[in-house]
Amino acid sequence: MIAVGNSSSTVVAEITEREARLRDILNQLIERGPGSLRERLGELRRFAVSRLMRLGELLANPMAIHEARTLLAEQSESSHLNASRKMARSALKPTET
């Protein structure tokens, strides 16, 4: 019946219920609080800024160029490994080294 354009009230009710559940889930992900998308993005932002500040400090000191290169290499490798391991779980979180 649906294929020919006649809608079923049961099907429409089920679709409406599922859409409401999806909206609730999306709102929980976006809202502030533990485990929210905003919190995770904030953690990633703070982590990236702290690493960039440290790198800037090292690059400002000509004697620390080797340490800066080491930090870049370690962070690049660490980020790649963490992203590869956690991508399946969609839970990318920064890790301190």
Three-state secondary-structure class, residue 34: coil
**Residues in the chain, total:** 97
82: which residues sit within 8 A by CB, 6+ positions away? 92, 93, 95
Measured distance CA(38)–CA(32) in Å, rounded:
6
Instruction: Report yes or no on whether pTM surpasses 0.85.
Output: no
Mark residue 35 as left, alpha or beta (left: phi above 0; alpha: psi -120 to 50; beta: remaining).
Answer: left
Write the burial class of residue 64 (CB in 10 Å: 0-12 exposed, 13-18 middle, 19+ buried).
middle
Digits of tens for pLDDT over the chain (97 positions)?
455 556 788 888 899 999 999 998 888 777 777 777 778 888 999 998 998 888 888 778 878 788 878 877 887 776 555 555 555 455 545 554 4
